[in-house]
Amino acid sequence: MLQAHSIFWHYLWVAPNLLLLILAVILWKRGTARQFPAFATFAFLGSVGQVCVYASDMLPSVTPDAYWRIVWGDLILEVILKFALIAEIFGLLFGSYAVVARLGKLLIRGVGVALILAAAVAAAYAPRIELVAIINGANLFDQTIFLVESGVLGFIFLFSFYFRLSWPRQLFGIALGLSISACVHLATWALISNAGLPYFSRLISVFLNMAIYHLCVLIWFYYLLVPKKDAVKPVVSVPEHDLEVWNRELERLIHQ
Amino acid sequence: MTLAIVIIIAAAVCLAVILRLAVSRSLQVSADGKIAGRIQPIDVEAFRNLANPTEDEYLRRSLPAAEFRNVKRKRLRAISAYVQVAGRNATVLVQIGQAALLSSDPRAVEAARQLVEQALLLRRNAAFVLIRIQIALLWPNHGLLVSGVLPGYERLSGCALLLSRLQNPAAPVRISAM
């Protein structure tokens, strides 16, 4: 079962991408795509890109060199889509609060630059595991993308937690799925690119990546399509004893 | 292999932090009703006295340099405690304000929006002041400005009172001067 080109392997490569494509179509039909244009584009183009890579892997007419060029093309597309999506998450979460947005933009730029430098250092010190440069490059590029992506997403979560900003449900689902996928992929690509794993362990890492991505697609399905339970949210008012304390303090301030 | 281990540990820590925050978010949603109880009252007058630069100047003139530094450090630690409480109260008010944004009363929504803005501003300023306090603890002779926190806290109190009045008009509000 855990072999390349087994039924499980085909399923894990194709199914999440088809599901994501279906999700994109549903989002466009429901009009939710207007709310999350970058996510809808990511879902559509990202899954189409992966289906193209899968098809080029299956077609005997595609040479190994052409296959790796297609992989590179897909990776570059993925980078653009993912960082547009992260910008969308940041904008939707902090955009309505000018004070936090300004500080957040400043900090996220700093974090981004630091992560890119760290990723460049990691890539420079990585051993040449593969004999073919184009494969080595693709592995290291994957590691670089996921390092920056998981770091930036981690920052967004921490920053929103510091200010206790509540996440809209759908946006939270998108960010959660993207973060889980980025962190797990970072760990597996770091192993693949740096540890010189034997064939079977490497295959397990690839299976783990595909399974986690499948899980993340299901998380996006759940948060974007399953409606929130209609629990009546209690109106939280300031408790009376605190009100009295505040009144007292204000009275004192006013009469100073 | 060492590089791989370092990156894997970093990825695991990042994932753990994100999942922890995700869980705390769900807990936060379910505990919305109890959130207001987390507000800790602050003696604004005592805070004002501690942060008063005139008092600092008086102490500097009256005390020997070594003793002044000692007293100043104690005062800075006390200010730090006040600022931390003010910052924590601000986060509680952010959550209360965000919950009130769903209100059907447009006046309550506007008051809630202002409350959230002021609370975020105070939280941000509190973080900056805490950094400045840490620096001032190293150089106590250098003046410390806590501008932003005290006026911010006062504005925040005003916003919270307004929102409380709108949400619960029957509550006795005892500001005779207003």
Percentage of chain B exceeding pLDDT 70? 74
Q: Which two tokens stand for residue B65?
A: 């340099």
* Nearest one of B20, B130, B160 to A161, comparing CA atoms: B20
In the stretch 123-162 of chain B, residues with CB closer than 8 A to chain A read 123-124, 127, 154, 157-158, 160-161
pTM here? 0.83
The answer, for A232 touching chain B at a CB cutoff of 8 Å, is no
Distance, CA of B30 to chain centre: 23
Q: What is the pLDDT of residue A221?
A: 95
Domain definitions of chain A by residue range: 7-229
Q: What is the pLDDT of residue A178?
A: 96
Q: What is the pLDDT of residue B33?
A: 59
* Nearest one of A5, A70, A43 to A177, comparing CA atoms: A43
Most confident of A91-100, B42-51, B96-105: A91-100
Q: What is the pLDDT of residue B92?
A: 87
What do you get for the CA distance between the two ends of chain A, in Å? 78
Nearest to B41 among A125, A158, A245 (CB): A245
Minimal-distance CA residue of chain B relative to A231: B30
- To test the contact with chain A by mutation, choose from B3, B32, B105 the residue with the greatest count of A C-beta atoms within 10 A, namely B3
Partners of A150 on chain B (C-beta within 8 Å) are 11, 14-15
The answer, for B171 touching chain A at a CB cutoff of 8 Å, is yes
pLDDT by residue (tens digit) across A20-32? 999 999 999 999 9
Predicted ipTM of the assembly: 0.83
Partners of A151 on chain B (C-beta within 8 Å) are 14
- Residue A74, pLDDT > 80, answer yes
- Residue B131, pLDDT > 90, answer no
Q: Which two tokens stand for residue B148?
A: 């932003």
Which position has the higher pLDDT, B128 or A52?
A: A52
- Residue B21, pLDDT > 70, answer yes
pLDDT band at B100 (very low <50, low <70, confident <90, very high): confident
Centre a 10 Å sphere on the Cβ of residue B148 and count the other Cβ atoms it contains: 15
For residues A177 and A188, give the distance between their C-alpha atoms in angstroms, rounded to a whole number: 17
In the stretch 58-117 of chain B, residues with CB closer than 8 A to chain A read 91-92, 94-96, 98-100, 102-103, 116-117
